[in-house]
């Protein structure tokens, strides 16, 4: 077989250290996509790679598929045989007890939920409860509020779709406490649900419920109430420190009356590990230093300027979080009777002719818009529209095969949830699967219609639910099904996990099977690769053990192979 480059062990004249030198046009192109820490040698067809275990592993992956002429064979063989034994780092956390909830709490906690209550009590409420979705973070938080003295009034900030659930849970699990401190068994706390952005004086209540988008408009009204407990549900909404909602929460968290600050999320990191900093800075300011200090110690910048946690510092960051602010339990740790999820990445056919024709239209339009764009903002907006159009084209191109896939599962009379991204794809799926009379969740529905669709599915009146990925990923329970199908992909692995966990939660008696349907030779393949990268970073920080995604390095190598073939045709 013909080689496409050379590999040599040599001393770099600039750094004075031993390195690997790779030459050859195709070899340089390939390696530059897989190994970020390299530099050019004596020209564009020669690169220098630092000699370390990680880079040797990457080079060996390339050699499995593409032959390089090895000019330093004995050194290469020695490097391959070398094994570095790393001592596992053990995180020492304070042992949690089974705490008993205060008298204001109505209901029973499972043993692991009692330990969650103990964690909140020991952290004085300044904590991130990051249990897997479906393990009852709402209930544990209410038990905590019922157990602390002077914890009311409490402000619950949450996505709009979860506010109704919060009201129901407060009425279900909390008893009324009178002004003299006496518990009223058959009464519930007073609740004010804020649904208007218009400023006005708010009545005194035990609980205030508001969604993130309205918070900055009512910030001044809320600041006058002497709120003692702040609960941020789905706290990943605060992952950007430049947003209005973040600034509003930060201000309210700092008022003199505030004693307890609790963040709740099964997915506090959505895309990159640095998103944890703004969240921790609200719950426990100073723990991770200021943002600049955090980035200097834990992160590097990728090509888009995003702060990514350095791989060898992910364990260290997880240790700091679990030691000082975060409790993280996975379903497999606490609910042995709740079976795990199984993920399948299924590549399906797509209508290539349609897809290519649509791409030609999309990119021709983009080229025209880029020429006529007067500002950088207009150029960026044009590019984003093109990407969205391409994603939708990929969804339409594989729609027929997605429909067949769903029908095959429906034939065995199992309940199924299908998630998609675009409203147009949602409409097409609903129409093509009309024979099953599907329930529907989509952005823009009011609470009543949304709940009617959920109840219809959960009660077994229909065996199919078609849901929007963003609209249907939070605040709902779909345990009737054990099959979840992703007809389209989102850029964030957290969105997919939230969607999966609408099925995989307390009440689910079966293993949940999640199918990710990827259109062959479409943008899906690129999105799937990004999901794998992000998933590994998130898993390494949150859970230590990686989830069952396909091997990250293998995914990168396959993508590099595709690029190589495109450039050599």
Angle among Cα 9, 10, 11 to the nearest 5 degrees reads: 145
What's the confidence (pLDDT) of residue 84? Answer: 38
Q: Which of 61, 71, 56 is nearest to 24 (CA)?
A: 71
Most confident of 48-62, 313-327, 507-521: 313-327
Q: For residues 442-452, give the mean pLDDT.
A: 83
What's the confidence (pLDDT) of residue 559? Answer: 42
pLDDT digits (tens, 9 = 90+) for 207-258: 999 999 999 999 999 999 999 999 999 899 899 889 999 999 999 999 999 9
Does 473 have pLDDT greater than 70? no
Q: Which of 535, 479, 475, 539 is nearest to 504 (CA)?
A: 479
pLDDT digits (tens, 9 = 90+) for 142-170: 999 999 988 999 999 998 867 877 888 89
pLDDT digits (tens, 9 = 90+) for 34-63: 787 788 777 778 888 888 888 888 888 778
Q: What is the CA 14 to chain-centroid distance, rounded?
A: 41
What's the confidence (pLDDT) of residue 547? Answer: 47
Q: For residues 407-419, give the mean pLDDT.
A: 78
Fill in the DSSP letter of residue 105.
B
What's the confidence (pLDDT) of residue 75? Answer: 80
Secondary element (H or E) of residue 94: none
Q: Which of 389, 449, 446 is nearest to 421 (CA)?
A: 389
Return the minimum-mean-pLDDT range out of 89-103, 200-214, 272-286, 508-522: 89-103
What's the confidence (pLDDT) of residue 505? Answer: 66
Q: What is the Cα–Cα distance from 39 to 48, expressed in whole angstroms?
A: 5
Return the minimum-mean-pLDDT range out of 34-38, 90-94, 496-500, 533-537: 90-94
Task: Give the rounded percent of residues in the chain with a pLDDT score beyond 90.
Answer: 23
Compute how many other C-beta atoms are within 10 angstroms of the C-beta atom of residue 126.
21
Task: Tell me the pTM.
Answer: 0.60
pLDDT digits (tens, 9 = 90+) for 322-377: 888 999 988 777 766 555 667 777 777 788 888 888 888 888 888 888 888 888 78
What's the confidence (pLDDT) of residue 85? Answer: 35
């Amino acid at each position: 077989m013909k080689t496409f480059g050379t590999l040599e062990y040599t001393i770099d004249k600039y750094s004075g250290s031993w390195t690997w030198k790779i030459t050859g046009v195709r070899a340089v192109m390939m390696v530059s996509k897989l190994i970020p820490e390299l530099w050019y040698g004596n020209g564009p067809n020669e690169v220098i790679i630092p000699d370390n275990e990680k880079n040797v592993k990457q080079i060996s992956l390339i050699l499995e598929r593409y032959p390089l002429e090895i000019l330093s064979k004995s050194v290469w063989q020695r490097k391959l045989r070398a094994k570095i034994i790393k001592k596992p780092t053990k995180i020492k956390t304070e042992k949690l007890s089974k705490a008993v909830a205060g008298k204001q709490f109505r209901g029973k906690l499972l043993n692991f939920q009692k330990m969650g209550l103990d964690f909140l009590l020991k952290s004085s409420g300044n904590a991130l409860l990051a249990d897997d979705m479906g393990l009852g973070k709402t209930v544990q938080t209410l038990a905590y509020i019922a157990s602390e003295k002077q914890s009311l009034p409490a402000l619950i900030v949450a996505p709009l779709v979860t506010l109704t659930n919060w009201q129901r849970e407060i009425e279900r699990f909390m008893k009324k406490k009178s002004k003299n401190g006496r518990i009223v068994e058959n009464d519930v706390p007073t609740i004010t649900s804020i649904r208007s952005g218009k400023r006005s004086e708010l009545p005194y209540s035990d609980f205030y419920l508001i969604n993130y988008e309205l918070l900055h408009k009512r910030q001044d009204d809320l600041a006058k109430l002497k709120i003692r407990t702040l609960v941020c549900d789905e706290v990943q909404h605060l992952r950007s420190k430049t947003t209005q909602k973040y600034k509003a929460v930060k201000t309210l968290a700092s008022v003199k009356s505030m004693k307890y600050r609790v963040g709740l999320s099964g997915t506090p990191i959505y895309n990159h590990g640095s998103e944890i900093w703004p969240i921790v800075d609200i719950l426990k300011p100073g723990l991770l230093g200021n943002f600049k200090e955090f980035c200097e110690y834990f992160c590097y910048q990728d090509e888009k300027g995003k702060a990514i946690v350095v791989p060898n510092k992910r364990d260290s960051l997880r240790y700091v979080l679990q030691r000082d602010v975060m409790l993280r339990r996975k379903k497999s740790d606490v609910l042995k009777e709740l079976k795990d999820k199984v993920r399948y990445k299924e590549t399906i056919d797509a209508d290539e002719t349609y897809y290519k024709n649509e791409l030609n239209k999309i990119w021709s339009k983009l080229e025209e818009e880029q020429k006529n764009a007067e500002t950088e903002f207009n150029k960026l907006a044009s590019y984003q529209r093109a990407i969205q159009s391409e994603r939708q084209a990929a969804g339409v191109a594989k729609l027929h095969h997605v429909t067949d896939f769903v029908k095959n599962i429906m034939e065995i009379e199992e309940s199924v949830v299908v998630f998609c991204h675009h409203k147009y794809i949602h409409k097409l799926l609903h129409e093509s699967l009309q024979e099953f009379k599907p329930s529907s969740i989509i952005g823009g529905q009011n609470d009543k219609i949304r709940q009617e669709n959920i109840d219809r599915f959960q009660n077994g009146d229909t065996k199919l639910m078609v849901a929007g990925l963003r609209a249907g990923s939070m605040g709902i329970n779909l345990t009737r099904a054990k099959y979840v199908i992703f007809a389209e992909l989102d850029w964030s692995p957290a969105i997919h996990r939230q969607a999966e966990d609408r099925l995989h939660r307390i009440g689910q008696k079966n293993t949940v099977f999640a199918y990710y349907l990827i259109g062959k030779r479409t943008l899906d393949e690129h999105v799937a690769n990004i999901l794998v990268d992000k998933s590994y970073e998130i898993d390494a920080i949150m859970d230590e053990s990686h989830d069952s995604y396909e091997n990250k390095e293998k995914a990168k190598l396959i993508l590099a192979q595709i690029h190589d073939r495109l450039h050599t045709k």
